[in-house]
């Protein structure tokens, strides 16, 4: 895809793409999910909302690809198919990473930042889908463990914000604590944007003329067990597991 900076017309298309994204989020939260609740006879409301978000995310990425804004390299990614429990931990190179993962996962809980939960376009989707806010601290980890023990898929971005250009930011240990307590392995996921776009510190309209392509790759799971984790204090085990996760993602990013 083209690497040059965008023309005015392409910026207009990009702005339109973001406007549609905002309308999609509001429509899903205020119309689609409430209608589902009225017509559905059984099943948790949050799981139905997550299924709606999955379908809407897939449609949005198809629309964005048609618009020349962003293209998902593969709509099906090996390692993300099938039911949970699954603890997906990914780097965070762009603004659309969560949308990409929701498009790939028919069911996905998510640990979100307080800023996401307060966003005027996203708070309705966050509440309808029952996403977990990291502002809850230890209670957030406990809720994540409960979701995993219920056999669900959980998405966590351990940096808590977008990754710095060409690398990774500091990792929080919530994913490691959830893995250790639930005994569900970490599933590392590498997300690449080529050329880089919508990155940390980059203006939303600063998108390459030809758009950008998102590639998702699933690495080997990291089990929360072994001599380095068993029989040691939980904070120490969480620190070691987080370090192993970071090293795994760094190696994958360095070796496409």
Task: For 128-171, write each residue's pLDDT tens digit.
Answer: 888 999 887 889 999 999 999 999 999 999 999 999 987 899 99
Residue 11 near residue 205, CB atoms below 8 Å? yes
Phi, psi values for residue 111, rounded to 5°: -90, 115
From 28, 48, 25, select the one nearest 96 (Cα to Cα): 25
Collapse the DSSP code of 209 into the 3-class scheme (helix H, G, I; strand E, B; otherwise coil) and give the result: coil
Cα gap 113→115, rounded to integer Å: 5
Q: Which pair of tokens denotes residue 247?
A: 């090293």
Cα gap 246→251, rounded to integer Å: 9
pLDDT tier, 189 (very low <50, low <70, confident <90, very high otherwise) = very high
Question: Is the per-residue pLDDT at 180 higher than 80?
Answer: yes
Task: Give CA separation, 187 vs 36, 224, 242, 245, in Å.
Answer: 31, 11, 12, 9
Q: Which carries the bigger pLDDT value, residue 25 or residue 85?
A: 85
The answer to whether residue 2 sits within a structural domain is no
Residue 62, H or E segment: helix 45-67
Residue 109 pLDDT: 96
Phi, psi values for residue 149, rounded to 5°: -65, -20
Question: The domain spanning residue 166 has which CATH number?
Answer: 3.40.1130
Strand stretches in 22-106, DSSP E? 70-72, 86-90
The answer to whether residue 220 sits within a structural domain is yes
Q: What is the span of the domain harbouring residue 200?
A: 8-254
The answer to whether residue 1 sits within a structural domain is no
The answer to whether residue 62 sits within a structural domain is yes
- DSSP states along 94-150: STTHHHHHHHH-SS-EEEE-HHHHH-TTTHHHHHHHTPEEGGGTHHHHHHHHHHHHT
From 130, 134, 142, select the one nearest 112 (Cα to Cα): 134
Q: Which carries the bigger pLDDT value, residue 207 or residue 53?
A: 53
Q: Which carries the bigger pLDDT value, residue 226 or residue 185?
A: 185
Strand partners, 30: none
The answer to whether residue 14 sits within a structural domain is yes
The answer to whether residue 3 sits within a structural domain is no
Q: Which pair of tokens denotes residue 7?
A: 């023309």
Residue 29: DSSP 8-state? I
Residue 206 near residue 170, CB atoms below 8 Å? no
Following CA atoms 102, 105, 107, 113 in sequence, which dihedral angle do they give, to the nearest 10 degrees?
-40
Cα gap 173→90, rounded to integer Å: 13
Counting residues of the chain whose pLDDT is more than 90, the rounded percentage is 47
The answer to whether residue 185 sits within a structural domain is yes
| pTM, 2 dp | 0.88
The answer to whether residue 207 sits within a structural domain is yes
Specify the number of domains making up the chain.
Answer: 1
Buried b (16+ CB within 10 A) or exposed e, 172-195: bbbbbbbbbbbebbbbbbbbbbeb
């Amino acid at each position: 895809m083209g690497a040059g900076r965008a023309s005015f017309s392409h910026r207009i298309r990009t702005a339109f793409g973001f406007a549609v994204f905002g309308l999609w989020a509001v429509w899903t939260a205020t119309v689609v999910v409430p209608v589902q609740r009225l017509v559905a006879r059984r099943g948790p409301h949050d799981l139905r909302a997550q299924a709606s978000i999955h379908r809407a995310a897939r449609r949005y990425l198809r629309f964005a690809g048609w618009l020349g804004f962003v293209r998902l390299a593969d709509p099906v990614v090996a390692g993300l198919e099938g039911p949970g429990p699954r603890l997906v931990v990914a780097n965070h190179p762009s603004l659309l990473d969560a949308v990409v993962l929701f498009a790939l996962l028919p069911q996905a809980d998510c640990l979100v930042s307080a800023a996401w939960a307060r966003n005027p376009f996203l708070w309705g989707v966050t509440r309808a889908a029952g996403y977990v806010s990291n502002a809850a601290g230890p209670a957030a980890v406990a809720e994540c463990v409960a979701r995993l023990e219920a056999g669900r898929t959980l998405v966590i971005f351990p940096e808590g914000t977008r990754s710095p250009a060409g690398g990774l930011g500091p990792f929080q240990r919530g994913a490691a604590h959830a893995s250790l307590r639930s005994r569900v392995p970490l599933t590392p996921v590498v997300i690449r944007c080529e050329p880089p776009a919508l990155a940390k510190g980059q203006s939303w309209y600063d998108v390459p003329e030809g758009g950008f392509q998102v590639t998702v790759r699933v690495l080997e799971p990291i089990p929360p067990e072994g001599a380095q984790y068993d029989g040691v204090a939980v904070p120490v085990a969480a620190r070691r597991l987080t370090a192993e996760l970071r090293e795994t993602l760094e190696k994958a990013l360095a070796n496409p």
